[in-house]
């Protein structure tokens, strides 16, 4: 992990200085990620500086752009190594976070890590399209987040069915995020969403990012989400 001084400077750069107080827990996260990554493929970015900027800062920056209600329930879809949900939970311990992933080994990593970090969280082993049709999870979350999972039209079909009416879907995208949004506009509307804001910004190192904020305005029609095969064959437009 980068030094405490460098981490504090990084958090100040992204306008989230309060997160610098969690340096020890972010250090543990970095160490565990690097160790587990030797045994299983969690991330291609493993150097200390890359983890701090391209994982931690990247996951935290949306907190400076969107106000999340205190105590909100958040489902992190396609959690993988825990981004962005776990850094958000470290910075905002009031959030009630559920990690959703289709691979049990990733959830095993997250379950052991959150226990060490003393972050209360729920692990949900399921495909997003199955969870979205399950009454236990459908339209039960205040917020859905996703990063590096799928193109936005598919991602919206994964995430919006899980969000309560009035809730938010935060899509963390790369430089092509606005192009994806243009192609997904119709899908978002069909799923009950409305684009509330688009934030174009850069990580401290210069990498371009786009945060797409979608408000759930109406219930998602019952036919969505469709099966993975149908999504792949006929992406929603």
pLDDT of residue 149: 81
Give how many domains the chain has, as a whole number: 1
187 domain residue, yes or no: yes
24 domain residue, yes or no: no
108 domain residue, yes or no: yes
Domain limits at 124? 68-233
In the chain the first and final C-alpha atoms are separated, in Å, by 42
Beta-bridge partner residues of 20: none
56 domain residue, yes or no: no
CB 144, CB 120: distance < 8 Å: no
59 domain residue, yes or no: no
Q: Output the pTM of the full model.
A: 0.94
CATH number of the domain at 229, please. 3.40.50.150
Regions in the chain scoring below 70 on pLDDT? none
Strands (E), 102-204: 121-125, 141-147, 163-173, 193-202
Helix, strand or coil, per DSSP, at residue 130 = helix
Report pLDDT digits (tens) over 84-103.
999 999 999 999 999 999 99
Note if the bond before 117 is cis, omega within 30 degrees: no
Report pLDDT digits (tens) over 14-30.
999 999 999 999 999 99
34 domain residue, yes or no: no
172 domain residue, yes or no: yes
Which residues, 6+ apart, have CB-to-CB distance to 56 below 8 Å?
10, 26, 29, 30, 87
8 domain residue, yes or no: no
């Amino acid at each position: 992990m980068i030094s405490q001084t460098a981490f504090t400077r990084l958090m100040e750069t992204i306008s989230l200085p309060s997160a610098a107080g969690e340096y020890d827990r972010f250090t543990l996260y970095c160490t565990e990620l690097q160790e587990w990554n030797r045994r299983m493929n969690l991330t291609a970015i493993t150097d200390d500086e890359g983890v701090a900027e391209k994982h931690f800062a990247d996951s935290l920056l949306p907190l400076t752009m969107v106000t999340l209600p205190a105590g909100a329930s958040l489902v992190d879809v396609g959690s993988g190594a825990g981004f962005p949900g776990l850094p958000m939970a470290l910075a905002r311990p009031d959030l009630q976070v559920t990690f959703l992933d289709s691979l049990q080994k990733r959830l095993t990593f997250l379950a052991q890590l959150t226990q060490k970090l003393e972050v209360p969280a729920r692990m949900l082993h399921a495909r997003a399209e199955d969870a979205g049709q399950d009454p236990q999870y459908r339209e039960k979350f205040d917020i859905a987040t996703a990063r590096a999972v799928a193109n936005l039209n598919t991602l919206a079909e994964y995430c919006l069915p899980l969000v309560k009416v009035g809730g938010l879907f935060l899509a963390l995208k790369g430089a092509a995020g606005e192009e994806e949004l243009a192609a997904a506009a119709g899908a978002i509307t069909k799923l009950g969403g409305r684009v509330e804001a688009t934030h174009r910004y850069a990580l401290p190192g210069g990498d371009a990012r786009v945060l797409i904020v979608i408000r759930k305005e109406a219930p998602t029609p019952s036919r969505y989400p469709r099966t993975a095969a149908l999504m792949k064959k006929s992406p929603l437009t």
